[in-house]
Amino acid sequence: MHVVTGGAGFIGSNLVEGLNRRGISRILVVDHLEKADKFRNLADLDFLDYLEADSFLHLLQAGKLGKIEAIFHEGACSDTMATDGRYVMENNFAYSRTLFHWTQEHRVPFLYASSASVYGMTGRFSEERSAERPLNIYGFSKFQFDQYIRASWKQLQAPVHGFRYFNVYGPREFHKGRMASVALHFSRQYRRDGRVSLFAGSGGYPDGEQKRDFIHVNDVVDVNLHFFDQPCPGIYNLGTGKAQSFNDVALAVINSIEGGRGGHLRDLPALQACQAISYIPMPEALHGRYQSFTQANMVRLREAGYGRPFLEVGEGVPRYLQWLEENGD
């Protein structure tokens, strides 16, 4: 049996789908369903059982779950604006630490979600301590667990892989609210208002030209499954290795929607001129805490044997919007 924690969430449910595509349905989905509508992410998927996160941990430690092939640990409090540090550390650090020790004791592969938020404002995005300086409790919780794993490398009894996700977008994120990808927010804005609002220039970047490393969730799933098949323990960046601007995302969103309607495709200056793309001041709360540029250093992942290309925004965003069209937002 394969375990996917956070399995009703964004990346977790896509991992369940990825396992289904391999013909695997003996899957235990673990999550919190306080937000009951997350069940929609699972309604078209096949899995053996579901457990709430607290019950799962109790049954796991009591040895009542049978043979487990791997744990894909995607469950976490993912709100980067969270202020209850005790809650975040309990969910993101302590819970992960307990799972890690169980997998080592029982020699079960452990693949877990870290985050690019560990880099903060350093402007460096390579998997090394000198580049890591998280800005919020979410980033700190992920950083601290990475540090705990690093201190345990020499004692590993089973493969461990940590993936520092950059800006992930794609199907099954409807429930994330303000933490959903900009691709989803832009799509909703344009369908509702006929225009998209981006942040005005900041950090030395012109309007909408702040850049992030945007990665499609299908690529995230492929990397997880690759290292389950071919273990190479480590902590890895998981982005595309190419920063693209928020203007690029908005352009891809609008032209995808208009293309689906049989409308005209326009370039960025034309969309700016008609105010289909406009700019708003950055909220005060984000000043000094906003990453105007991220770009994953992918050397370590490539050296570990993952050679497939990643989807860029111009290809990945239209795929996502087609999925939204077919499945409803």
pLDDT exceeds cutoff 80 at 80? no
Q: What is the pLDDT of residues 263-290, one digit of tens each?
A: 889 999 999 999 999 999 988 877 777 8
| Over residues 163-182, mean pLDDT | 94
Are 13 and 172 in contact, with CB atoms under 8 Å apart? yes
d(CA 306, CA 23): 22
87 part of the active site: no
Looking at the predicted structure, is the pLDDT value of residue 9 above 80?
yes
| 306 counts as catalytic | no
- pLDDT tens-digit profile of 46-67? 999 999 999 999 999 999 999 9
What is the C-alpha separation between 134 and 144, in angstroms, rounded? Answer: 10
Q: How confident is the model at residue 82 (pLDDT cuts 50, 70, 90)?
A: confident
Q: What is the mean pLDDT of residues 171-188?
A: 94
Look at phi and psi of residue 209 and say left if phi exceeds 0, alpha if psi is from -120 to 50, else beta. Answer: alpha
What pLDDT score was predicted for residue 287?
75
pLDDT band at residue 203 using 50, 70 and 90 as cut-offs = confident
Which one is the CATH code of 167-216+241-294+311-329: 3.90.25.10, 3.90.550.10, 2.40.480.10, 3.40.50.1110?
A: 3.90.25.10
Read off the pTM: 0.95
What the block records as the tokens of 113 is 């979600």
Give the pLDDT of residue 303: 98
Question: Contact, 151 vs 200, CB < 8 A?
Answer: no
Residue 324's pLDDT is 96
Q: Any idea which of 96-100, 154-158, 201-205, 232-236 has the lowest mean pLDDT?
A: 201-205
Q: Nearest 5 degrees, angle CA 156-CA 162-CA 167?
A: 175
- Evaluate if residue 138 carries a pLDDT over 90: yes
Question: Which pLDDT score is estimated for 283?
Answer: 87
**pLDDT score for 278:** 96
| Residue 246 clears pLDDT 90, i.e. is over it | yes
* Confidence band for 85, pLDDT divided at 50, 70 and 90: confident
User: Cβ–Cβ contacts within 10 Å for residue 178, how many?
Assistant: 8
> Binning pLDDT at 50, 70 and 90, where does residue 208 land?
very high
Q: What pLDDT is recorded for position 168?
A: 98
Higher-confidence position of 190 and 289: 190
- Quote the pLDDT of residue 290: 80
State pLDDT tens for residues 11-58.
999 999 999 999 999 999 999 998 888 999 999 999 999 999 999 999
Which class is domain 2-166+217-240+295-310?
A: alpha beta
pLDDT at 178: 86
Q: Exposed, middle or buried: residue 285 (CB in 10 Å: 0-12, 13-18, 19+)?
A: exposed
If you write DSSP's letter for every residue of 191-203 in order, what string do you get?
HHHS-EEEEPPBT
Domain ranges within the chain, ordered by starting residue: 2-166+217-240+295-310, 167-216+241-294+311-329
Distance CA 16, CA 19 (A): 5
Q: Which of 95, 112, 119, 138 is catalytic?
A: 138
